[in-house]
Structure 1
Amino acid sequence: MNHNTPLSPRPLHHLSDVQRRVLSTAQLRAHGVSTSEINEQCRPGGAWQQILPGVVLLHPGPPTGEERLHAVLKYAARSPLRAAQGIPAQPAPAGPAGPAGRDAEAGAAPQRYADPVITGLAALTLHRFSSAPPLLSLEHIDVLVPRLRRLRSSGCARIVRTSVMPAPEQITGFPVAPVARALADAARELADAGAVRGLLTEAVRGGHCEPAAVVRELTQARLLSRPHVVDAVNSLLAEGRAIAEDRLYRMVRENGLPDPVWNVDLRLPGGPYLGGLDAYWPEQAVALELDTRTPRPDEDALGSEYARKREHLERLGITVVHITPRKLRDAMEQQAAVVRTALMASADRDPAAYVVVLPRS
Structure 2
Amino acid sequence: MNHNTPLSPRPLQHLDDCRQRVLSAAQLKAYGVNSAALNEQCRPGGPWQQLLPGVYLLHPGPPTADERLHAVLLYAGRPQTRAAGVPAQVTHGEPHAPQATPQAPYANAMITGLAALALHRFASAPPLLSLDRIDVMVPRTRRLRSTGFARLVRGHGMPTPQRISGVPVAPVPRALADAVAQLSEAGAVRRLLTEAVRGGHCEPAAVVRELNEARLLTRPHVIDAVDSLLAEGRAIAEDRMYEMVREYGLPDPLWNVDLRLPGGPHLGGVDAYWPDQAVAVELDTRSPRQGLRPELQEESDGLEWSEYARKREHLERLGITVVHITPRKLRESLEQQATVVRTALMASVDREPAAYVMVLPH
TM category (shorter chain) comes to 0.7 to 0.9
SS of the aligned residue for 2:207 comes to helix
Q: CA 1:121–1:258 in structure 2 vs 1: closer, same or farther (change >3 Å)?
A: same
1:133-144 matches, cutoff 5 A: 133-144=126-137
Residue of structure 1 equivalent to 2:73: 73
Superposed, which structure 2 residues align to 1:229-248 within 5 Å?
229-248=222-241
Match of 1:302 in 2: 304
What do the CA deviations read for 1:13-57 (whole angstroms, capped 9, x no partner)? 9x9978522111111111111101111222222221111000011
User: Could you report, residue by residue, the CA deviation over 1:221-244 in whole angstroms, capped at 9, with x for unpaired residues?
Assistant: 111111111111111111111110
The equivalent of 1:123 in structure 2 is 116
Matched, 1:319 2:321: yes
Give the aligned residue type for 2:75: Y
- Hey, what's the Cα distance between the residues in 2 that align with 1:47 and 1:249? 62
Is residue 204 of structure 1 aligned with residue 194 of structure 2? no
- 2:24 is matched with which residue? 24
1:113, distance to aligned residue in structure 2 (A): 2.5
Q: Deviations over 1:276-331 (max 9, x none)?
A: 11100001100111111113344333222211211111111111111000001111
Work out the CA distance in 2 between the residues paired with 1:321 and 1:217.
28
After superposition, where does 1:44-55 map in structure 2 within 5 Å?
44-55=44-55
The alpha-carbon distance between structure 1 residues 10 and 308, as it changes in their structure 2 partners (threshold 3 A), is farther
Question: CA–CA distance in 2 between the matches of 1:11 and 1:48?
Answer: 11
Instruction: From the superposition, tell whether residues 217 and 319 of structure 1 become closer, same or farther in structure 2 (CA, over 3 Å).
Output: same
Residue 154 of structure 1 and its aligned partner are, at CA, apart by 0.8
Indicate conservation of the 8 Å contact 2:259/2:360, yes or no: yes
Contact 1:24-1:80 at 8 Å conserved across structures: no
CA distance in 1, matches of 2:22, 2:349: 70
CA offsets, 1:83-108, max 9 Å, x none?
Answer: 9643338x35xxxxxxxxxxxxxxxx
* 1:272 and 2:285 matched: no
Secondary structure of residue in 2 paired with 1:20: coil
The AA in structure 2 aligned to 1:293 is R
Judged with a 3 Å threshold, the aligned counterparts in structure 2 of structure 1 residues 223 and 299 are, in CA distance, closer, same or farther, namely same
Q: Relative to 1, partners in 2 of residues 1:16 and 1:351: Cα closer, same or farther, differing over 3 Å?
A: farther
Separation in 1, partners of 2:147, 2:17:
25
Tell me how many residue pairs correspond in the alignment: 333
Output one character per residue of 1:328-350: Cα deviation in whole Å (capped at 9) or x when no partner.
11111111111111111111111
Which ranges in structure 2 are unaligned for 5 or more consecutive residues?
1-7, 85-97, 293-299
* In 1, Cα distance between equivalents of 2:16 and 2:205: 38
CA–CA distance in structure 2, aligned partners of residues 317 and 77 of structure 1: 59
Residue ranges of structure 1 left out of the alignment (5+ in a row)? 1-6, 93-111
Once superposed, what is the RMSD of the aligned Cα atoms?
Answer: 2.2
In 1, Cα distance between equivalents of 2:28 and 2:315: 70
**Structure 1: distance between partners of 2:257 and 2:178:** 39
2:253 to 229, 245, 260: 260
SS at match of 2:181: helix
Q: How does 1:14-163 map to 2 (within 5 A)?
A: 20-82=20-82, 85-88=98-101, 91-92=103-104, 112-163=105-156
8 Å CA contact 2:41–2:48 kept in 1: the answer is yes
Q: Paired residue for 1:353?
A: 355
Larger radius of gyration, structure 1 or 2? 2
Tell me the TM-score normalised to structure 1 length.
Answer: 0.87
Query: In 2, Cα distance between the equivalents of 1:125 and 1:55?
Result: 23
C-alpha distance 54-82 of structure 1, shift in aligned 2 (>3 A): farther
Structure 1 residues 57 and 80: CA distance shift in structure 2, 3 A: same
TM-score in terms of structure 2 length? 0.87
- Quick one: structure 1 residues 190 and 67, their matched pair in 2 at CA, closer, same or farther if it must change by over 3 Å? same
Distance 1:16 1:34, change over 3 A: closer
Query: What's the offset of the Cα at 1:183?
Result: 0.5
Q: Work out the percentage of aligned pairs sharing the same amino acid.
A: 73
